[in-house]
């Protein structure tokens, strides 16, 4: 057996190696390949590739308690019928957003959804003081600028709700994917999705999206109420691309495209407006979100410069060891893996938030990814080296 004194230097070296491995891989960002026909002009994708410097990945299907996830905030507020342009008010309440834990011991176990499905957002059928009980979950960070925003979702077949996955700055800077359950017609296999950019033009049209050029209805080729599918929008300079299961649904471009940072929101609501959400639903309606993956550039200048620094440092280290890269390619998700989102760059346990990256002050979280395989390799190496020392 080697003495502790003799293995000290090795241990120090290996510890340093392990730490660098833990923080490895994506220091220079996340890239998304762009099929040639989808490549337009503008910044960020000159060579058919888009580069994003930050990420936020959330494994809702593994999460046990949403109130312990610092990346997301359940919302509570009331909107009157008048303010919400509906026949009823909306009562956003914390209890309408809950986790359905893998072991069935989540915050709410009597949901219709199966154990481990993800986070449930419920629209209630029983009015509370003339308001419909509704649900919202919003990202805590608001520095989310150009990016690719993705969510695995299963929608409700119950008539009378609007399920939305959107990016928001204010009412005239908003990118939306909205699903109206009253439009789902199983007998005709009709499942439309409403794609909307809210802009100054839509404000002038009284927020009637249909009266603007940035409103498109696209028929999905699958029933979104029976399984999980990935819904995605890429918010880029002067253009927005919408996808389902990595298939392009539509593109919008021009002056209505927002031009600043915002946050992302999951919402399930109804206000009785027969022209939009319809409802109230006749029974409680549940939308389930299995995961969210966001790859984006931050508007925060400190995060931008710390990204540049750690990328440069990682590349210098690589040059010394003969490696290269440090850019991670974002894999597509299809219907086959939308219930769990397939592989994640962030391998931290979502139920141990402090063990994951991104919690240090001034840290983007984009680079500190725990990496179980490299960690195991480092440990193995350590054992082997100790045995020989």
Ligand X SMILES: *[C@@H]1O[C@H](CO)[C@@H](O)[C@H](O)[C@H]1NC(C)=O
Residues that bind ligand X (CB under 6 A): 40-41, 43-44, 50-53, 55-57, 65, 67-68, 71, 76-78, 91, 107, 128-129, 146, 159, 170-173, 182, 184-185, 190, 217-219, 236-237, 239, 251, 253, 278, 297, 331-334, 336-337, 342-343, 346, 348, 350, 353, 356-358, 365
Q: Rounded to the nearest whole angstrom, what is the least distance from the CB of residue 329 to ligand X in the complex?
A: 10
d(CA 353, CA 348): 8
Q: Which is nearer to ligand X, 112 or 251 (CB)?
A: 251
| Burial of 246 (C-beta count, 10 Å sphere; 0-12/13-18/19+) | middle
Q: State the minimum distance, in angstroms, from the CB of residue 320 to ligand X.
A: 24
Of 2 and 76, which CB lies nearer to ligand X in the complex structure? 76
Closest CA to 325 of 334, 314, 335, 336: 314
**Whole-angstrom distance, CA of residue 137 vs CA of residue 159:** 22
We find the least distance from the C-beta atom of residue 259 to ligand X, in angstroms, to be 8
Nearer to ligand X, 236 or 265 (CB): 236
The DSSP letter of residue 332 is P
Q: How far apart are the first and last CA of the chain?
A: 9
Nearest distance, CB of residue 100 and ligand X, angstroms: 12
Residue closer to ligand X by CB (options 107, 143) is 107
Q: How far is the CB of 2 from ligand X (least distance, A)?
A: 36
**What's the closest the beta carbon of residue 114 comes to ligand X, in angstroms?**
18
Smallest separation (angstroms) from ligand X to the CB of 288: 18
- Number of Cβ within a 10 Å radius of residue 30: 23
Cα–Cα distance, 59 to 63 (Å, whole number) = 7
Q: What is the rounded distance in angstroms from the CA atom of residue 191 to the CA atom of residue 219?
A: 6
By C-beta, is 170 or 302 nearer to ligand X? 170
Q: What is the C-alpha to C-alpha distance for residues 244 and 262, in angstroms, rounded to an integer?
A: 22
Cβ closer to ligand X: 14 or 365? 365
Q: Which residue's Cβ has the minimum distance to ligand X?
A: 342
Angstrom distance (rounded) from CA 97 to CA 361: 28
Between 14 and 24, CB nearer to ligand X: 24
**Minimum gap (Å) between residue 71 Cβ and ligand X:** 5
**CA triple 247-265-72, angle to 5 deg:** 115
E-strand stretches of 108-171: 118-123, 131-139, 144-154, 162-170
We find the least distance from the C-beta atom of residue 332 to ligand X, in angstroms, to be 6
What stretch of H or E contains 77?
strand 77-79
Would you say 294 or 382 has its CB closer to ligand X? 294
DSSP summary character for residue 227: S
Task: Tally DSSP H helices, then E strands, for the chain.
Answer: 4, 20
Q: Which is nearer to ligand X, 97 or 382 (CB)?
A: 97
- Please report the DSSP string for 265-282 in residue order: EEEEE----TTTT----S
Count CB atoms within 10 A of the CB of residue 89.
21
Which letter does DSSP use for residue 190 in this model?
B
In the complex, the smallest distance separating the C-beta of residue 50 from ligand X, rounded to whole angstroms, is 5
Distance CA 292, CA 152 (A): 7
Q: Which is nearer to ligand X, 7 or 246 (CB)?
A: 246
């Amino acid at each position: 057996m080697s003495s502790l004194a003799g293995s000290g230097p090795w241990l120090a070296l290996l510890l340093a190696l392990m730490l660098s491995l833990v923080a490895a891989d994506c220091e220079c960002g996340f890239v998304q390949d762009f099929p040639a026909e989808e490549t337009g002009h503008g910044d960020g994708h000159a060579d058919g590739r888009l580069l994003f410097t930050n990420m936020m990945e959330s494994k809702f299907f593994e999460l046990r308690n949403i109130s312990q996830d610092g990346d997301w905030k359940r919302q509570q507020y009331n909107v009157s019928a008048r303010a919400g342009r509906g026949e009823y008010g909306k009562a956003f309440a914390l209890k309408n957003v809950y986790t359905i834990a893998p072991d069935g011991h989540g915050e709410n176990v009597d949901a219709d959804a199966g154990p481990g499905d993800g986070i449930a957002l419920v629209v209630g059928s029983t009015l509370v003081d003339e308001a419909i009980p509704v649900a919202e979950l919003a990202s805590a960070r608001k520095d989310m600028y150009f990016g690719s925003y993705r969510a695995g979702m299963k929608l409700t077949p119950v008539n009378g709700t609007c399920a939305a996955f959107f990016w928001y700055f204010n009412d005239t800077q908003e990118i939306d994917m909205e699903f109206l359950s009253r439009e789902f017609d199983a007998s005709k296999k009709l499942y439309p999705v409403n794609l909307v950019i809210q802009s100054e033009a839509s404000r002038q049209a009284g927020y009637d999206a249909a009266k603007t050029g940035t409103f498109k209805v696209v028929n999905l080729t699958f029933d979104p109420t029976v399984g999980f599918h990935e819904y995605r929008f890429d918010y880029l300079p002067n253009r927005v691309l919408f996808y389902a299961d990595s298939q392009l649904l539509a593109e919008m471009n021009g002056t209505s495209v927002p031009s600043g940072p915002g946050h992302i929101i999951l919402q399930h609501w109804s206000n009785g407006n027969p022209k939009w959400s319809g409802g109230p639903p006749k029974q409680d309606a549940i939308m389930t979100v299995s995961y969210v993956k966001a790859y984006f550039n931050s508007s925060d200048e400190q995060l931008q410069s710390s990204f540049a620094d750690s990328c440069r440092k990682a590349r210098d280290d690589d040059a010394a060891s003969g490696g290269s890269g440090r850019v991670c390619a974002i894999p597509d998700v299809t219907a086959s893996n939308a219930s769990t989102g397939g592989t994640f760059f962030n391998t931290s346990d979502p139920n141990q938030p402090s063990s994951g990256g991104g919690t240090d002050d001034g840290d983007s979280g984009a680079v500190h990814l725990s990496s179980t395989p490299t960690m195991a390799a480092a440990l193995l190496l350590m054992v082997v080296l100790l045995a020989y020392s």
